[in-house]
Structure 1
Amino acid sequence: MEPHGEVSLIQDAVPLLGFALVFVLIFRKFGLGATLGFLVAGAMVGPQVLGLVGGAESKMGIAELGIALLLFLVGLELSPSRLWRMRRDIFGLGLLQVVLCGVAVAGIVWAATQSTLAAALALGLPLALSSTAQVLPMLQSAGRLRTPFGERAFAILLFQDLSIVPLITIIAAMSRNPADLHGPPGWLLGLYTLGAIVGLILAGRFLLQPLFRLIGNLGEREMFVFAGLFTVIAAAALMEWLGLSAALGAFIAGVMLADSPYRHELEADVEPFRTILLGLFFLAVGMSLDLGAIADRPFFVAGMAIALIVTKMAIIMGLALLFGMKRRPAFAMGLLLSQGGEFGFVLFAQAQAAFLVEAEAASVFGAIITLSMATTPFLMMLTRNLRAEPEPSAEGMQSPQHDGSNAIVVGYGRFGQTVAQMLIGQDIPVTLIDTDVEMIETAGSFGMKVYYGDGTRTDLLRQAGAADAELILFCQDGDGLDTEILESIHHAFPNASIFVRAYDRRSVMKMKGAPVAGIVREMLESAVLMARKAMEAVGVDQQEIDRTEAEYRKRDSARLKVQKETGDLRAGIERMFSQDALAKAVAKADAEAMARDG
């Protein structure tokens, strides 16, 4: 029977992935987001519609790893410097939003369902959380993630993601499950949590950092994938073994690596697994929705979804105004975060396991989250004119001024250091990426933050913010770049000007036709400068030095053009200054002199 089980798993994957592919593409096409596509696909293949796939519970166990990976990536965003810069929005605006929305929605649930206070809290508090998986892609596609508006929205989402841990604790404290009642007391769980956090931080400092340094020195990218997944799963397993939240363990694993030079590499390596497993999570949620219970109470589901959206929108807009936002952006913030989120499904499952709510109630409120998520894209489209700021009058306005731009410098050796420092000298924010572990550590001792990773990978560049950068400068040693790589990077980030350090003429020839703003041969300018100083030392006139340099550059440019066109390194050799040409010129000059003397 075991082979049959393996075949069944493979056969389940075909309709799951097939329906997910179709529905996600359709929902993406109409701007509704991938999350809703996964949920609808899961409902369609599940036992209550087409019945093509069963066993949502077994798949949920694997899929919940996607939630752990999501929290790991959230943790990676929490470097101490970023936390400090965003502290007011994260721990002020975010905290108030979760508390006020949670209490208000719980009150609505209690009034509408006449349930117990514990059940109302277990259902209402999770509805305060919005959908990180839906909102962040919307901000990215609109190009607003790195704007003040986007950062404030991210701060609220970040605190919401952090709040899943205390919310799980609240549900556990209210549990009616006999198994939970006989568990360790709350104060002991608190000590377990504190001890586990300290242990994970120490493990990150004294075990993981050396491990990633070793992997970086070996240059084994595949081992980064294994090590990243091991870190997440081991931290989650430790917390689960202690009877705590596995998601908390994954989150702490991310935080303890947030300030390491390997952050971008880990993000790029873990992201595909997070995407796949989170998609599987939403598929399993869609499969487990009790559509019959929802069909029996359609007006309740629609009414509660409307109440949720209006309540959250009003509270978030009010808080945004209180924190200094203007009316239109505050209105946009309220709409953008008005839906329920994916962590609601996780917390409803926790509440069901704690005997606080029935399975039917969990399905109905899961449908309320799904419906609220479906409304967000439509609400954003319908209110576009209301949210748009009026065009400012040009009269009395100051002319546009250069206020800096974002740049990514790949390669922080001798060449990259000069480029980066000159950009920083112009107050241009710079992100530095390299693969030399020893150099990264040395740069750190000089106060420079260099991230580890292969900067020619588009996924890693995207993690480093290339989608919003204006400059991407490849300053690494060697000749690993070619036209194909540069075309793919330009296609992925068309708004960024690309500059390349070329090792030699062969490197330039490999980049023929590449969509770059400039190619600089690494030794050309320094060699020209040295030649000028040498000519000065032997008394050559300054005008002759300038003429010689201009003639050399003219010949070199023409020769390089022919070489790129033909692909032949020896092409244009006649344009070189050479010893033979010099000897012929000297002989010709001597002959002319003798003729004059004779």
Structure 2
Amino acid sequence: MHGGEHSILLAVLTLLGFGLIFVLIFRKLGLGATLGYLVAGAIVGPQVLNLAGNAEVTLTFAEIGIILLLFIVGLELNPARLWRMRKAIFGVGLAQVALCGLALTGLILLVTGYPWTAALALGLPLALSSTAQVLPMLQSGGRLNTPLGERAFSILLFQDLSIIALITIIAALSVAPGAEEGLPGWQLALMSIAATIGLVLAGRFLLRPLFALIGRLGEREMFIVAGLTVVIGAAALMEALGLSAALGAFIAGVMLSDTPYRHELEADIEPFRSILLGLFFLSVGMMLDLGAIAENPGFVAGMALALISVKAAIIFGLGKLLGMDWRGALALGLLLSQGGEFGFVMFTQAQAGGLIDAEIASLFGAIVTLSMATTPFLMMLNDRIRKRDEERERDAPDGGGAHALVIGFGRFGQTVAEMLVTAEVPVTLIDRKVDQIDLAGEFGAKVWFGDGTRIDLLRQAGADEAKLLVFCIDGDQVTPELVAAVRGAFPQAAIMVRAFDRRTLMALAGSEVDHVQREVLESAIRMGRKALARMGLKSAGIDDTEAAFRHRDRDRLERQIDADDIMAGRDGFYADQMGPATN
């Protein structure tokens, strides 16, 4: 047992270690993380160093990374926005899968002479692109919500939906005994619709109350557990029905996208998604059949080039038909030109159905992997072409990419936020009190649940693009260490802090805060002026009194900061009458 545990730990250490090294190298060279993972996987795989065990087992586990990726993408697409994209999903997506699938089938027939059933079983899966590769590239580049990103995502989403139809087609073509056993396509379609409706109802009537309860308990770990349970549960339901597990996770994400818990869920799930997606590409690299490439280098390289060229050309044409300029259409074509991870699943289905043998499945698996490896280079080429393209302007989604983030929606934060909104400044509001969020919702305000002192949550809420971060939470939560971390993570944003009292001012002295506002100072001064007027002082005397007070207050605060002692400056006006001021 101990030996087995040791070998598992050693394999995990080897995978993560090689992945880390190669991703750092490839990132440094500007080639992207995906290619680094693929190369690392090929090196530690059975055909080179053979250090990391069974690639198929790793791949099965790492496919959870794709499920988590689709969940996070679903969180960024609320139902209204998804409905707005329906024509692109079912129009452009259908056209892409059909045209690319048939064109590649014809190419395989022409080049190989395989039976038409085998060519179709290979050509249709090659029409699918790599969701696991394309979406992270769009997210990291900030392009997911651009016109280019929306069209790419629409096509990828339809590809995911089309898996049901492709599995049905391959099963119908199968010649192996028992290969056609299972539900007919129309029953799969009905079950898919029923499962989708069930997930929608669960999201509306079960999940929001569940997360509200967890939010009131204040247990972050429970949020992580609940989030993973929802994702895996939705994926498992779809998979049990013979449908796409990733589609179930995506629907669960969409159902939670319009709840106050979206950013908290994104921040909690993101680390798991990153690690497992990296393992997925490592396992794909491990499965790369270097022997097949060595025996047929011309065929593999030529077919990979043909795959990229055919898909890029067809998608470029579709982009032009949609009214995109040539740069945008070319970017869309190059972005989706590679084969996808679901191709491996389809090739296995075709092999089980007797349509192709193991050698052909391995050969075309190598072609898909090689095409995926070229994508970072193609996007580097495309970025050079698109340097002057004005399409980079972003169309931010609801609640994301805001110009200002207000953290804390109590009485202080509400006033700041309302002034910003009055000036038509887009604002994202964050609070960790569920009751406060519910109350704000009754007045039509959209407040997101989460701990605004977490850098990862601020990033998910759009702090990378924000011009202003306003912390309106209790003063002792905003520390110099937090300010330094926020400044380092979001250098483009101004930082403003509500100070509960002068102790907070003393704590933040010397930190990189753009402005600190003592909570009650200005309102207390205004009341003091009213009090003096009631006591009969003239306007000029009131102004002089205010100026003298402000001067003494600043002087006392400077002494307290220098001495790091709230008792400093006791020789001021208030020493004999009121004691040390702490407000």
Global fold match (TM > 0.5): yes
The DSSP-based 3-state class of the residue aligned with 1:181 is coil
Provide the aligned length of Structure 1 versus Structure 2: 566
Cα distance, 1:543 vs structure 2: 2.2
Shift, 1:216, TM fit: 0.2
> Any gaps of 5 or more consecutive residues in structure 2?
391-400
**Who is 1:228 aligned against?**
227
Could you tell me how far 1:231 is from its partner in structure 2? 1.0
Aligned-pair distance for 1:457? 0.9
* Cα distance in 1 for residues equivalent to 2:488 and 2:34: 26
Give the 3-state SS of the residue equivalent to 1:520 in structure 2. strand
Matched, 1:50 2:49: yes
Q: Which of residues 562, 569, 574 in structure 2 aligns to 1:572? A: 569
The separation in 1 between residues aligned to 2:250 and 2:484, in whole angstroms, is 36
Say whether residues 1:275 and 2:279 are aligned partners.
no
Counterpart for residue 489 of structure 1: 486
Match of residue 239 from structure 2: 240
Deviations 1:390-425 (A, max 9, x none): 89xxxxxxxxxxxx9711121122222222222222
Q: Tell me, yes or no, if the aligned pair for 1:217 and 1:436 is still in contact at 8 Å.
A: yes
The within-5 A match list for 1:526-541 is: 526-541=523-538
> 3-state SS of the aligned residue for 1:408?
strand
**CA distance 1:487–1:104, change in 2 (3 Å):** farther
Aligned match for 2:411, one of 389, 411, 414: 414
| 1:562 maps to 2:564 | no
Structure 1 residue 479, shift from structure 2 partner: 1.9
Distance 1:344 1:580, change over 3 A: same
Shift of 1:459: 1.0
Q: Within 2, Cα distance between the matches of 1:129 and 1:558?
A: 69
Match of 1:504 among 495, 501, 504: 501
- Please point out which of 451, 455, 479 is paired with 2:452: 455
The alignment partner of 1:479 has SS state of helix
Structure 1 residues 264 and 142, CA, compared in 2 at 3 Å: closer, same or farther? Answer: closer
What TM-score comes out, normalization by structure 2 length? 0.89
RMSD: 2.8
Q: Residue 479 of structure 1 corresponds to which residue in structure 2?
A: 476
Give how far 1:433 is off.
1.3
Could you tell me which amino acid in structure 1 is paired with residue 473 of structure 2?
A: Q
Q: 1:33 to 1:525 in 2, by over 3 A?
A: same
Query: Distance in 2 between the 1:51 and 1:16 partners?
Result: 11
Residue 159 of structure 1 and its aligned partner are, at CA, apart by 3.7
**Mapping 1:329-408, distance limit 5 Å:** 329-382=328-381, 384-389=383-388, 406-408=403-405
In the aligned structure 2, how far is the partner of 1:428 from the partner of 1:498? Answer: 16
Structure-2 residue corresponding to 1:61? 60
The secondary structure found in structure 1 opposite 2:477 is: coil
**What is aligned with 1:164?**
160
Tell me what 1:192 maps to.
191
- Partner AA of 1:202 in structure 2: L
Task: From the CA coordinates, give the structure whose radius of gyration is larger.
Answer: 1
CA distance in 2, matches of 1:181, 1:86: 35
How far apart, in 1, do the equivalents of 2:81 and 2:424 lie?
18
* Equivalent in the alignment of 1:308: 307
CA contact (8 A) 1:94 1:157 kept: no
Whole-Å separation in 2 of the counterparts to 1:179 and 1:527: 82
1:104 alignment partner in structure 2: 103
Alpha-carbon distance, 1:539 to partner: 2.9
Q: Following TM superposition, by how much is the alpha carbon of 1:355 offset from its aligned partner in structure 2, in angstroms?
A: 4.5
User: Residue in 2 aligned with 1:215?
Assistant: 214
TM-aligned CA distance change 1:581 to 1:270, over 3 Å: closer
Specify whether residues 141 and 262 from structure 1 end up closer, same or farther in structure 2 by C-alpha distance, changes over 3 A only: closer
Quick one: structure 1 residues 69 and 351, their matched pair in 2 at CA, closer, same or farther if it must change by over 3 Å? farther
* Residues in 1 aligned to 2:465 and 2:354: alpha-carbon distance in whole angstroms: 47
- Of residues 413, 435, 439, the one that matches 2:432 is 435
Counterpart of 2:149 in structure 1 is 153
Distance in 2 (CA, whole Å) between partners of 1:142 and 1:59 is: 28
TM-score (norm 1): 0.87
Instruction: Determine helix, strand or coil for the equivalent of 2:571.
Output: helix
Query: Residues 155 and 7 of structure 1: is their aligned pair in 2 closer, same or farther, counting only changes over 3 Å?
Result: same
